[in-house]
Amino acid sequence: MRRHLPLLALLFAAQIAAAPPKLEKRAIISFDPGWRFLQSDAAGAEQPAFDDAAWRAVDVPHDWSIAGPFDPQNTTGGAGGFLPAGIGWYRKQFTLPESDSAKSVFIDFDGVMANSDVWINGFHLGHRPYGYVSFEYELTGHLHFGSGRANVLAVRADNLLQPASRWYAGAGIYRHVRLLVLDPVHVAHWSTFISTPGIDPGSALVHVQTSVANQSQTASPVGIQITLFDPSGTQVADTTLPSQTIQPAQTAEFTTELRVNKPSIWDISHPVLYTARIRTRAGRRTTDDELTPFGIREFHFDAATGFWLNGRNFKLKGVCLHGDAGALGVAVPLSAWQWRLAALRELGVNAIRTAHNPPAPEFLDLCDRMGFLVMDEMFDCWTVGKNPYDYHLYFAEWSKIDTRDTVRRDRNHPSIILYSAGNEIHDTPKQQLAKAILSGLLDVFHTNDPTRPVTQALFRPNVSHDYEDGLADMLDVIGQNYRENEILAAHAAKPSRKIVGTENGHDRKVWLALRDNPPYAGQFIWSGIDYLGESRRWPVIGNSSGLLDRDGFPRPDALEHQAWWSDRPVVNMVRRTAAAYVTPTDPGYETAPVDRRQSAFADWTPADLSPHEETVEVYSNCAEVELFLNARSLGSKSLPEDASPRVWQVPFETGTLRAVGKNGGAAVAQNELQTAGKPAKILLTTIRERLTPGWDDVACITAAIVDQNGIHLPRATNLIRFSTNSAGKIVAVDNAGNASHEPFQTSERSAYGGRAIAIVRATSDAGRLVISASAEGLAGSEVSIELQKGNPNEF
């Protein structure tokens, strides 16, 4: 399988959701640009008068660790991809007009890695240890207003003590930052909660609750107006709630229900979003307005039949994802996630587990828009640590606060169907401790969102007796990592249990356990995409467990999963070698040729082109597959009941190997592999036809080394040099090789597996961005992308 370019391009070309109504009162100002950064500690840097002139100018999101260098002496070790750690400072100067002096002003951070402290004009606003949570501080009372009166926002992120994570976690202000300027009477932060408790074909009941804060000096009668807009932006429901008198420094809660006629239902194949606009009114004056996207849908887990969405029963075909995107680190533009999720969707993936922490909020927005179901996970540990300096040091003080804030932030996303309280928690052998912690977390989840079930990725529950001591049955849906026979046995022992696989391997027996057992709601494969870190030894800097490699190309396992999971006819082929091969944990892995780093190859270009026999595996969901070598039929094979591949022993000869899938005797899909000749040129491709300037919109440019006929050479390692015209810039390069120590933030990269990528960003909103690639001894190539104005979140 190759990337299905028309499908992926369509996802980028189409605007998935219509623009919602615009805000009229509240001001939300991006605070991403214009920071100064220092990659070390600096005494007194929180003070406004501190001289930061020598600091580097950066925009956020910014992950400073990804710049490297890779070094076996870096204290993050293999878990952190051997990338650097330490302390980083950020400072930003800004001014506010005198007209804002009577307003309430807040700063929102979507995520700072990690142990962050924030100051405004020298005043310490607060500390947050967990790098994956979003948080807000109020700046009111600590600001200067008027022309020439500068304010200084300072942030210190402390990642010095390592190891603090089992995977690459990055460093710095790696998510977006916003300034909010509000009337003192306004909708309280994360207080709006929208659910759809009743849906029938003719109408849907929409439940809305919110809180209004009065930060003025006088009591104020406040009412609210709630208006619902459909996916096209048309108003479909409206109500005004009676006023409540809110005293100074107090809040009041408002709750109501509205009915939407002939609702458009959110589904994985129809991810449409409504918008709720809440306006606060003090007398005749509108003081604030807030926009909240939501989806109208119904889901539940059933102990006997698994997962249901909008009356349909189907399996969760999920993958686990860490938060980095290879060369981009953990500061990931939204468009990068979009092309990655689109590549997973092509395999048949319909669900994502955010392993093992809350994601960036815009990632959940994207899942809403693309129709993915999400398990929103909180923690990788509780009070028993997995590293000397990980979250267990802060769990007792912060876990309930972090859970509350995350649930309140995320509870309006229709994509979320499960919360997870933790992954492979090592507290569970201590029965009383673990049950007390889980009980407290469940209270926080259910208090802040009673509409969604909570699971936990149980770790060897038969060893820690989770099924016997009652811990597993505290969960709304029981989750277990691996050992599928154990969770199925637990269900057989108590059929009222709702069960899901929270982390699973790639083997066929794993798929059969899901396919053949109706109570088993779904599985989340470890992992969806290769990621940095979790390496057991130098020089390996990444983990190769993904269905996709870091650059988004499918591994052979992915081709088999596509045949199991896809709803459309699929035919894929690989060569399967019997020779021993090395894994990333074996000595000599870094110097071994690509042929010895895996045992399956989606090509017809073996290293040995002399006569020999090749084992060909065909992965297909078609009733019949016929194999051809250079137009000669090698016979047909029927679909096995046990989902095993169809295997041929093929005498090798150069040329074309073609597999044709048939249903009812008619050809419905095919796959073709050709023998490559000598390297001749670079072939540049991209799925993007248009690009807008802005941090969140980037394009991935693939450089493949091909022969004179355009056939990819799977073992080419040429050094490829990328360049752009003045309309854009290169953000990063990569080749998906987990033993490569070449820097990401440069313009050249050695090919691995015959490919390398460049990630580019537009610096203009007109004309064309031209990207070129060259390599010694090869004909170069270029590709161009049309540039346009627009919202970079609407691809």
Instruction: Name the residues annotated as catalytic.
Output: 424, 503
Task: Give me the sign of the Cα torsion angle 733, 532, 406, 129.
Answer: negative
Q: Beta-carbon neighbour count of residue 359 at 10 Å?
A: 26
CA–CA–CA angle 223, 224, 228 (5° rounding): 160
* Span between the terminal Cα atoms of the chain, in Å: 25
Cα torsion through 337, 339, 343, 346, rounded to 10: 110
Q: How many CB atoms lie within 10 A of CB 250?
A: 13
Whole-number Å distance between alpha carbons of 491 and 514: 13
Q: What are phi and psi of 436, to 5 degrees?
A: -65, -40
Spatial separation of the C-alpha atoms in residues 715 and 197, rounded to whole Å: 55
Which helix or strand (DSSP H or E) is residue 367 part of? Answer: helix 361-370
3-state helix, strand, coil in the chain (%, to 5): 15, 40, 45
Looking up tokens 């996207």 gives 293
> CA dihedral defined by 139, 144, 149, 155, rounded to 10 degrees?
-20
Closest CA to 466 of 440, 497, 443, 444: 497
Q: What is the CA radius of gyration of the chain?
A: 27
Question: Which residues, other chains included, contact 234 with Cβ-Cβ below 8 Å and sequence gap of 6+?
Answer: none
Q: What would the two tokens of residue 297 be?
A: 């849908």
Task: State the virtual CA torsion across 645, 647, 652, 654 in degrees, nearest 10.
Answer: -40
Smallest CA-to-CA distance from 771 within 753, 791, 750, 756 is with 756
